[in-house]
Amino acid sequence: MATKKTAPKAGAAKTAKPEAKPKAALSNVVPIAAEPSAAAVAATTLRVRDLVDRVAEATGAKKKDAREIVEATLAALGTAIDAGDVLNLPPLGKLRVSRAASGETGAATLKLRRGGTVKANEKADKEGLAEAGEDS
């Protein structure tokens, strides 16, 4: 005798599959950052016009005057880097040429060491060990 297979009824409950166990959270795994998009790189790139705007705003100078000063400063910095000079510029840090490629490209690898958060004025304002009026 042949057995007849019947389709399950529409209202019939399906057999429940056992629930999968949740994977343990890996708290010590650091996700790998994806490459930044072109828009993200463009948003973090400081251009000459942006620098001029910031300098003009910080000093209260006209943008035309600030542009001349910024361009002259950048030209002087470029000349110093081309000469292989070490630049010690306290707000920026200490910059030196690590490697320079010979040829027309002018490519160079620069190393920048940023200083701590202590400003030069804060160092001078430190309190001395002797009391006021005492000889040290």
Summarised one tens digit per residue, pLDDT across range 29-71 is: 555 556 666 666 656 899 999 999 999 999 999 999 999 999 9
Q: What is the pLDDT of residue 34?
A: 60
* Cα dihedral value 79, 81, 86, 87, nearest 10: 70
The yes-or-no verdict on residue 94 having pLDDT over 70 is: yes
Alpha-carbon span 73 to 63, nearest angstrom: 15
Please state the pTM of the whole predicted model: 0.52
- At 99, the pLDDT band (50, 70, 90 cuts) reads confident
C-alpha 3: how far from its chain's center?
A: 73
- For the ranges 6-20, 65-79, 87-101, the maximum mean pLDDT occurs at 65-79
As a whole-number percent, the residues of the chain with pLDDT over 70 amount to 50
Alpha-carbon span 130 to 132, nearest angstrom: 6
H-helix or E-strand spanning residue 56: helix 48-59
Q: What is the pLDDT of residue 103?
A: 64
Q: What is the pLDDT of residue 131?
A: 64
Instruction: Pick the closest to residue 52 from 38, 41, 68 (CA basis).
Output: 68
